[in-house]
Amino acid sequence: MNARIRELVGQCESFGLWENKTYTFDKEKFAELIIAECMRMCEVTEMSFVTHGCDVEASGAITVKQFIAEHFGVEE
């Protein structure tokens, strides 16, 4: 598991401060964070292509981002 995934996992973990210290992991939040990270990487890829004058590829990166958002029902 790479460092970024560990960071995302950490954002989804919590420990209860009650009598028996319950551990919880928010699976839904983790899924949302992973999807958001994938969409963010599409944006980073688009900017890289734009910087290098690759407009067709940049457009493809944004299309992939839109497909991910549509597939998972993400409202931007």
Mean pLDDT of the region 41-64: 95
Residue 35's Cβ-side half-sphere holds a number of Cα atoms within 13 Å equal to 17
Give the whole-angstrom CA distance, residue 7 versus residue 74. 22
pLDDT tier at 23, thresholds 50, 70, 90: confident
Q: What is the pLDDT of residue 17?
A: 63
Using the 8-state DSSP alphabet, how is residue 62 labeled?
Answer: H
Bridge partners of 15, per DSSP, are 23
CB-based contact 27:12 (threshold 8 Å): yes
CA-wise closest residue to 46 among 63, 70, 32: 63
